[in-house]
Chains A and B, each alone.
Chain A
């Protein structure tokens, strides 16, 4: 009973502390869909609960990250979530009525949504999580060369999509 309680306390503390950051990661991984990001994070946290005694002292966040990435790829493969790749970004918010930060985030999420799940995951892990190529490959469960290829292709595509937002220097 006491063990169970301490387990629950430690788990709740971790979740409360890392919820916001993990939710943002989840949202980037699914291309901005808030509800789907919540579902994925909940699923990852439920899985974390069952392995918590084993990995609480090690790297629970790395575990959640891996679960999120794989669940995001799987869910994108399994179901249709209403995403449809288009040439032009749809329904861009007007710059006058919302803040610039929101506009920028919306454009970023819309651009990420156009990437295939693996490329999106590689880009997010590499540039948002600052993971090395080896670590990205470990999370994706693929060779380093494949992870590097996913990341470079994803960045190349984002470069095209966001060319008007991020202007090249020089």
Chain B
């Protein structure tokens, strides 16, 4: 520390003057503490409100898409049931099994889930609806109405009704088209 630095330190110390802590300072300090405390409370309240709102929005986002996801797959399912009936000629043969399905089209959407369900259930719990249809349905009696139809080895479950009654087996393949078309 050289002379200048020593002098600088001395000047800084000598420049100090006594400044008492007066009542005005004390009152100001108390007011400052109160204001700061109020600000903290407000901040905390705002923070918790924001947190709750955020959680609510987050839950909403989590739940909503899930519901839509469940609904969407169910909507297309009815169409296959209605598809084979729409060609028209199928009811004419008068077989008992087609009639059961013939009623389906008008209210197809509501009852539809049961129709495809039965066709697949013919597999008796197996996962593949495609492979199980022709053979298993004959033995399985649960959903006999639809599955009794011995359709050509079609992939879709709706295939059964048309083929035996009329050679218009071609329409039976049509269901795949409406399925992809989307709702009318």
Do A155 and B5 touch across chains, with their CB atoms under 8 A apart? Answer: yes
B29 is an interface residue with CB less than 8 A from chain A: yes
A44-52, A58-66, A85-93: which lies at the interface: A44-52
Q: A46-B33, A49-B33, A128-B12 are in contact. Are A159 and B19 (CB under 8 A)?
A: no
B1-42, CB under 8 A of A: which get 1 and which 0?
A: 001110111011111111111000110110011001000000
Name which residue of chain B comes closest to A18, CB basis: B21
A5 is an interface residue with CB less than 8 A from chain B: no
Please classify the interface of chain A as helix (H, G, I), strand (E, B), loop, or mixed, using the class held by over half of its residues: helix
Do A108 and B11 touch across chains, with their CB atoms under 8 A apart? Answer: yes
Name which residue of chain A comes closest to B12, CB basis: A128
Interfacial chain A residues near B16, Cβ < 8 Å? 20-21, 24
Do B29 and A166 touch across chains, with their CB atoms under 8 A apart? Answer: no
Do B15 and A127 touch across chains, with their CB atoms under 8 A apart? Answer: no
Distance (Å) between the CB of A67 and the closest chain B CB?
13
Name which residue of chain B comes closest to A38, CB basis: B25
* B-side interface residues, number (CB < 8 Å): 24
- Residues on B lying within 8 angstroms of A by beta carbon are 3-5, 7-9, 11-21, 25-26, 28-29, 32-33, 36
A16–B8 alpha-carbon span in the complex (Å): 28
Distance (Å) between the CB of A101 and the closest chain B CB?
6
Interfacial chain B residues near A50, Cβ < 8 Å? 33, 36
Q: A155-B5, A159-B4 are in contact. Are A28 and B12 (CB under 8 A)?
A: yes
Do A104 and B14 touch across chains, with their CB atoms under 8 A apart? Answer: yes
Do A20 and B20 touch across chains, with their CB atoms under 8 A apart? Answer: yes
A127–B33 alpha-carbon span in the complex (Å): 32
Do A108 and B15 touch across chains, with their CB atoms under 8 A apart? Answer: yes
Do B32 and A155 touch across chains, with their CB atoms under 8 A apart? Answer: no
A81 is an interface residue with CB less than 8 A from chain B: no
A68 is an interface residue with CB less than 8 A from chain B: no
